[in-house]
Amino acid sequence: MKRAIPIAAVWSAFALAAHADNIVPPPWAGSDPAFETFQEWEFTSAGGGAPDGELGFTNAGGTPTVTPGPGVAYDPSGAGLFPALDGYVGTFGIGNTLTFDIPNIADDRPVKHLRIQINGDWTAAFTVPSVVALTGTDTSGPVTSAFVDSDETFPGFHRWEDWDLFPNPDDETLILTVPVGGIVNQVVIHTISTGGGVINGDYNDSGQVEQGDLDQVLQNWGQSFATIPGTWVNQRPTEGIVDQAELDVVLQNWGSSASPVGAAVPEPGAALALIGSVFVATRRLGGATRG
């Protein structure tokens, strides 16, 4: 059952759908411009191609492009099902997709973060626009994609998704579905290469080896390397299961920071207490796994 939305909120969100740009930038936006890309499409004409949004694109690797699939139809402003918007409408055919190709500069940082913002109107559709495939090419070997998070900022009109790719590819291809009966009139894609100068044990890329990294190990204890979530950013296991080896790295580097000033290195007594707590936790996890 669809949620009831106040009329004022609907009109406000609809106006937003028509004129929005970079509504919810990622928290890392602008933190490392040399390793970031930005691209915005507003679909002001049919046929796809390079970004045509007001904010354009910043990409040292080349020109990103979008290719409409056979199951979407261009709906120009002033006509069609959504006269106030121009963009792509999902039809009942196969291939209700927009395919985005994003080139990037080649670098040796291990992880690529992406935020994809989608704008339009899918209030009458049964689904929301979403990323259904994310792939990349890299000379070092296969690239793995991991969904991280999403939120519908304005239900029916704007949503975003966060994804990770590792190892960090030189380019990526993203496929977005357009729901039948809905329109996508703007897409913003922001990427960053990260993990440079990684601290041993900083699995969550927080800049310090701390509780969050220990949690990554304990919450995924005994899990196959292939099922580890995208929140495990750095030094992801590439074989076997999460076990003592990953835990040892955290304990041996506890408190290490990218900046040595103010690093929270535990006192010997606190370190012993931590190790004792972890020992109990891993014993319980091991027992639960065997049982």
Of the CA atoms within 13 Å of residue 26, those in its CB half-sphere come to: 26
Window from 31-35, 42-46, 113-117, 189-193 with minimum mean pLDDT: 31-35
Q: What is the pLDDT of residue 275?
A: 60
Q: What are the angstrom distances between the C-alpha of 23 and each of 8, 130, 154, 263, 277?
A: 19, 17, 10, 35, 43
**What is the per-residue pLDDT across 88-106, written as a single tens digit (0 to 9) for each?**
999 987 889 999 999 987 7
Q: What are the angstrom distances between the C-alpha of 9 and each of 13, 19, 135, 156, 157?
A: 6, 15, 36, 11, 11
Q: Are 133 and 175 in contact (CB under 8 A)?
A: yes
Q: How far apart are CA 227 and CA 220, in angstroms?
A: 9
Q: What are the angstrom distances between the C-alpha of 157 and each of 95, 160, 183, 222, 289?
A: 22, 11, 9, 41, 44
- Bridge partners for 170 per DSSP: none
Q: How far apart are CA 164 and CA 137, in angstroms?
A: 14
**What is the per-residue pLDDT across 251-286, written as a single tens digit (0 to 9) for each?**
988 988 754 333 344 444 555 556 666 665 666 666
Q: How far apart are the first and last CA of the chain?
A: 41
